[in-house]
Amino acid sequence: MKQNFAIIGLGRFGGSICQTLIESGQEVLAIDSNEDRVNEYMNIATHAVVANAQDESTLRSLGIRNFDHVVVAIGEDIQASILVTLMVKEMGVPNVLAKAVNEYHARVLDKIGADLVVHPERDMGIRVAHKMISRNILDYIELSNEVSIAEVRVSNPKFYGKTLGQLNFRQRFGLTVVAIRRSKSDVITSPAAEEMVRENDSLLVVGETADVDILDEKMN
C-alpha cells in the first residue's frame, strides 16, 4: 500500500531516507530551511520545499497533519528538533520518527511522543560491535533494550540436513527463527518445524539480546 511521507531536514540521514523511499515507489515531501539542500532533492523527491519547520503556520499550510509518516531529521539544532516533533505530534500525525544526536535528546523525543526515536551513530556502533564480536552474525538490530533480531550464518556442518524441529531450535537456544535465507533472492519466511537447514543458509532469529549474543558460540 502506498503511504505518504514528509521528511524535515535533508542532511545525510534525512536525505538517505528520502532517496530510499522514492526508490521504493513512495511519495515524499522533502522539507529543509536550506535552499541548497532543497535544490539537491528537487528532482528526487515528489515535492521539495524550502521552509522553516519551526513555524507552526508553515507546517499547517504544508498539510503536515495529513501525512502517514513524518521524519524529523533535524541534526544539531536540538531545540528545533524537539519543537518540530512536538508540533507534528500535536497535529495528529500517527507515525513520527525523530533523529536524536545524544541520549538526553533521545529521552526528550521519547517523552514528547515521538513514535520511534533513532540515534544513528549509536545504533550503527552497536550493530558494528556485535558483527565484530561474532564472525557469523551478518546483521543485528536492537528492537528494545532486551530484544534483538540477528541474521546468523550456519557454519557448523552438524546443523546441515536437520529440520528446525529436529534441532529443537527454540528450546535449545531460546530464540525463534523468523526466516531462513538460502540465497540472496530465496528467503523462507516463518519457517515451519519441518523446514530443513542447509549448507550456506543463514537464520534470522529474534529473542532476548543475551541469547542472541551467545547463539553463534552455542551453535559451534
Q: Which residues bind ligand ADP (CB under 6 A)?
A: 8-14, 31-34, 37, 52-54, 73-77, 80
Q: Please identify the residue of the shown chain whose CB is closest to the bound ligand ADP.
A: 75
Whichever of 31 and 137 has its CB closer to ligand ADP, that residue is 31
Specify whether the CB–CB gap between 29 and 45 falls below 8 A. Answer: yes
Whichever of 11 and 174 has its CB closer to ligand ADP, that residue is 11
Q: Number of helices (H) and strands (E) in the chain: give both, helices first.
A: 9, 13
Residue 120 C-beta: closest distance to ligand ADP, Å = 8
3-state secondary structure 16-55: HHHHHHHHCCCEEEEEECCHHHHHHHCCCCCEEEECCCCC
Residue 169 C-beta: closest distance to ligand ADP, Å = 39
Residue 91 C-beta: closest distance to ligand ADP, Å = 15
Residue 53 C-beta: closest distance to ligand ADP, Å = 4
Whichever of 18 and 137 has its CB closer to ligand ADP, that residue is 18
Strand residue runs (E) in 94-144: 95-99, 116-118, 137-142
Whichever of 27 and 56 has its CB closer to ligand ADP, that residue is 56
Taken in order 198, 202, 206, 212, the sign of the CA dihedral is positive
